[in-house]
């Protein structure tokens, strides 16, 4: 496999990133920013993000990004970030601002754009929640904030969406600029050919997921009722539903078949993929789903739902299997198909890995993002 490449540009440009969260907080968007900026050379990256933990430094350099953390609540982040951006801009004169998602970071970038209309505004859409999430979050304030939220899209000079699903949303929200799909990717170097897996009686389902409603982990737990006892379920991740899910496991007397592993460092996930027979996340919404791509690269066949950006890479019966949304019996049926049909399973594993290698390598994605940065 090829080593990490750097993307070089003739002219130096300073980029200011607005991101509500960043490392050590880990999610698909945060990992994407790290993977992209680590591969781009001759751009200077600064970032303004929220200081969620008082133990975190107000400034540190992470990879190629100078990270500035501001104190305060999520509610007021757009204002604190904007004021910080004004100060940094006087020192650095940015040629590009880059908002990671159309959330509070998007509002901060919009405020900056109002005051600096000549500075190029790049909006990246990484949203994984349902698209009515902003409306739900804002409640009655949505009546007043809707025009301002739509302005995040209409004032952007370029929009990069990680899936066709999110690209369509950008257009619905009034985007006037070019909208391009550039997905998240996978570090192919981390997923070499899988070591031989011993044929054992025990079969392992695995998921890597925040324990939230949209990821429907409870549906997989429920599906175990319709599957043989030899099938176990490993859950990598944490979240607000953890206690509720553990109670569900206890109520169904599945303690011997479900293991909650909690937070697992991204670099440690491969050893769990090595143990797995099937990766499954029956999402109710999904911007793209980098965890699916990583499972495919690791030669673990995937079961997913046809929602959001998942159909961009998962073709039923070719690169994975679709189950029905909110239907544990459908999940169980698909698990049985993959475990019982060796020929289909091997075809899916081969096709899925080939797809990821050809279309979702971070090196080529970073090169494309370098072109967008200009």
pLDDT tens readout for residues 282-291: 999 999 999 9
Do 13-182 and 188-359 fold alike per CATH?
A: yes
Q: Give pTM, 2 decimals.
A: 0.91
Q: Are 149 and 131 in contact (CB under 8 A)?
A: no
Q: Are 312 and 183 in contact (CB under 8 A)?
A: yes
Q: How does DSSP classify residue 187?
A: -
Strands 13-18 and 96-100, bridge-based pairing: parallel
Q: Omega into 24 within 30° of 0, i.e. cis?
A: yes
Residues (pLDDT < 50) of the chain are 1-2, 8-10, 196, 198
Give the pLDDT of residue 9: 41
- Tokens found for residue 226: 């319709």
Give the pLDDT of residue 1: 41
- Which tens digit of pLDDT belongs to each residue from 125-162? 999 888 888 888 888 888 888 999 999 999 999 999 99
> Among 303, 267, 273, 288, which Cα is nearest to 187's?
267
Give the pLDDT of residue 2: 43
- Tokens found for residue 233: 């379920």
Give the pLDDT of residue 194: 60
Buried b (16+ CB within 10 A) or exposed e, 63-77: ebbbbbbbeeeeeeb
* Domain map (residue ranges) of the chain: 13-182, 188-359
Give the pLDDT of residue 335: 98
- Tokens found for residue 130: 């349902």
Number of neighbours of residue 337 by Cβ within 10 angstroms:
15
Q: Measured between alpha carbons, how far is 158 from 179 in angstroms, rounded to an integer? A: 6
Give the pLDDT of residue 3: 53
For the domain spanning 188-359, the CATH number is 3.40.50.2000
Q: Measured between alpha carbons, how far is 339 from 303 in angstroms, rounded to an integer? A: 12
Give the pLDDT of residue 192: 66
Could you give the angle at which helices 342-359 and 328-340 cross, rounded to 10 degrees? 100
Mean pLDDT of the chain: 93
Q: Give the distance, in angstroms, between the CA of residue 291 and the centroid of all CA atoms in the same chain.
A: 8
Strands 59-62 and 65-70, bridge-based pairing: antiparallel
Place of tokens 């980098």: 290
Q: Are 360 and 182 in contact (CB under 8 A)?
A: no
Q: Does domain 13-182 have CATH number 3.40.50.2000?
A: yes
Phi, psi (5° rounding) for residue 279?
-100, 135
């Amino acid at each position: 496999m090829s080593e990490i490449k750097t993307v070089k540009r003739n002219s130096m440009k300073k980029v200011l990133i607005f991101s509500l969260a960043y490392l050590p907080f880990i999610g698909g968007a945060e990992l994407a920013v790290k993977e992209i900026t680590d591969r781009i050379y001759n751009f200077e990256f600064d970032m303004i993000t929220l200081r969620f933990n008082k133990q975190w430094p107000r400034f540190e350099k992470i990879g190629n990004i100078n990270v500035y953390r501001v104190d305060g609540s999520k509610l007021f982040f757009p204002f604190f970030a904007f004021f910080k951006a004004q100060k940094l801009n006087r020192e650095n004169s940015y040629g590009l601002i880059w908002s990671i998602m159309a959330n509070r970071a998007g509002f901060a970038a919009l405020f900056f754009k109002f005051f600096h209309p000549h500075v190029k505004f790049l909006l990246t859409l990484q949203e994984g929640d349902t698209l009515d999430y902003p409306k739900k979050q804002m409640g009655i304030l949505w009546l007043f904030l809707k025009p301002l939220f739509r302005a995040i899209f209409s004032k952007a000079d370029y929009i990069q969406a990680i899936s066709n699903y999110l690209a369509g949303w950008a257009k619905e929200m009034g985007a006037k600029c070019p909208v391009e799909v550039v997905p998240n990717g996978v570090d192919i170097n981390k997923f070499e050919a899988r070591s031989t897996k011993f044929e054992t009686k025990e079969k392992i389902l695995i998921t890597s997921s925040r324990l939230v409603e949209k990821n429907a982990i409870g549906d997989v737990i429920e599906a175990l009722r319709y599957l043989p006892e030899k099938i176990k379920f490993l859950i990598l991740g944490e979240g607000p539903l953890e206690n509720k899910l553990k109670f569900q496991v206890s109520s169904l007397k599945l303690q011997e078949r479900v293991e909650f592993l909690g937070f697992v460092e991204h670099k440690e996930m491969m050893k769990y993929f090595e143990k797995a027979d099937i990766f499954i996340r029956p999402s109710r919404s999904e911007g793209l789903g980098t965890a699916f791509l990583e499972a495919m690269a690791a030669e673990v066949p995937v079961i997913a739902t046809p929602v959001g950006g998942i159909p961009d890479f998962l073709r039923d019966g070719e690169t994975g299997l679709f189950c029905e949304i909110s239907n544990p019996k459908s999940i169980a049926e698909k698990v049985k198909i993959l475990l019982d049909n060796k020929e289909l399973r091997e075809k899916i594993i081969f096709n899925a890995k080939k797809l990821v290698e050809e279309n979702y390598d971070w090196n080529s994605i970073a090169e494309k993002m370098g072109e967008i940065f200009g």
